[in-house]
Amino acid sequence: MKYNDLLREYILNSGLSLGEIARKMNEKGVKVDRSYLSKLKNGKVGYPASEEVNKAFAEVTGGDPEKLIFAAFVEKSPHSINKVFSKTEDLDEFLIKTIEKVQGGQASELVKLMDINERLELIRVIIEDCISNKRPLETIIKEKEAPYVNDNVSQVVKVPVLEYILAGHPIDRIEKVSDFEYVERKYVKDKQAYALRVKGESMIGDNIMNGDIVICIAQKEVTSNEIAVVAVNNESATLKRVKFQSDMCMLIPSNPQMQPMLENARNVEILGKVVEVRRRFA
C-alpha cells in the first residue's frame, strides 16, 4: 500500500479527527498541526514525513509504525527502486528471503533482532551492492506463481550529502559527508553530483526550505537566473539565483525579506547547479 493510502487508512481506523491526532502527537513531543497532516494525507507536501513523525502518527492512530516508516522509505526512493519495493508491504519477508537467497540458512531470527533502522540500513546495503556491481536487483517477492521481478538499479547513482562546501575544495575530497542519497541517473548523467543540506531561508520563495536536501551537479558555469551553489570570497557556499551583468554578478535570494547582493564576478565561484529539491519535514 502506498504511503498516502496507508496514512488515510490509519486515520479512518482510528476514528480520530486530524486535529485530535495532531494534539496527541504534540503531547508526545512531535510538533505538527492539523493543516500539515491534511497536506501529508493528500500528498500535497511532496515528500513523506520524517521517521519521528511517522512513528508518532502510527502510535497515535493505532497503526503499525514500522509499516508506515517502510512505506515512507519506498515513497521517497528513486523511481527504479520504488518500482521494485512497492511490490511488497512486508519488510521482514523481503529481508528474510533476500538473506536466505544470498547466504543460505534461516534468516528469520536474525531479522527479528533488528530494529527498523537496522532493517532499512540492510536494504540500503543491498541496493548499494547492486549498484556497485551493476547487476539487477532481485525482489525475492512472488506475485502468485509469477517469477521474481527484476529491475535494473544501475539507473540509480549514490551521491554524498554534504553539510557544507568551500570554494577551491574538490567535491570528491570533502570528508564531511553526513549521509547519502539515491538519484536517478538521467538527472545527473555522467556528471559529478552531490547533495547539499540547506541551511537558512534565503530560497523559500522557490520552495527550498531550511533542512531540505538539494541535488546538485558540480559545474563552474550556470545560465543567468538558474539556482546555483555559489561561494563569495572563498567562504562557505550558499544557494542563490545568479544574474551576470558585465563584470558583476548579482546573487538573488527568493525570500522577499532579503535583498540581492551585487558582487564582482571575480570574487564569485560557481560550484554547482541545483537540479532537484527533496523536502525534509521535522
pLDDT at 147 over 90: no
DSSP conformation letters of 181-197:
EEEEHHHHTTS-EEEEE
> How many helices (H) and strands (E) in the chain?
10, 11
Which residue, 242, 253, 243, is CA-closest to 203? 253
| Structural domains for the chain | 3-76 (1.10.260.40), 82-151 (no CATH), 157-278 (2.10.109.10)
In tens, the pLDDT along 149-201 reads 344 445 677 888 887 665 555 555 455 666 788 787 777 877 889 998 888 88
Catalytic residue check, 178: no
Task: Give the cell for residue 274.
Answer: 541545483
Catalytic one of 176, 240, 243, 254? 240
Catalytic residue check, 240: yes
Least confident of 131-145, 233-247, 256-270: 131-145
Cα angle, residue 181 at apex, residues 206 and 138 outer, rounded to 5° = 130
* Backbone angles phi and psi of 163, in degrees to 5: -75, -30
Average pLDDT of the residues of the chain: 78
pTM above 0.75, yes or no: no
In tens, the pLDDT along 247-278 reads 999 999 999 899 999 999 999 999 999 998 88
Name 196's Cβ contacts closer than 8 Å, sequence gap at least 6. Answer: 161, 162, 164, 165, 213, 214, 216, 229, 237, 239, 272
Burial (CB < 10 A; 0-12, 13-18, 19+), residue 72, is buried
Catalytic one of 41, 55, 97, 202? 202
Distance CA 75, CA 85 (A): 9
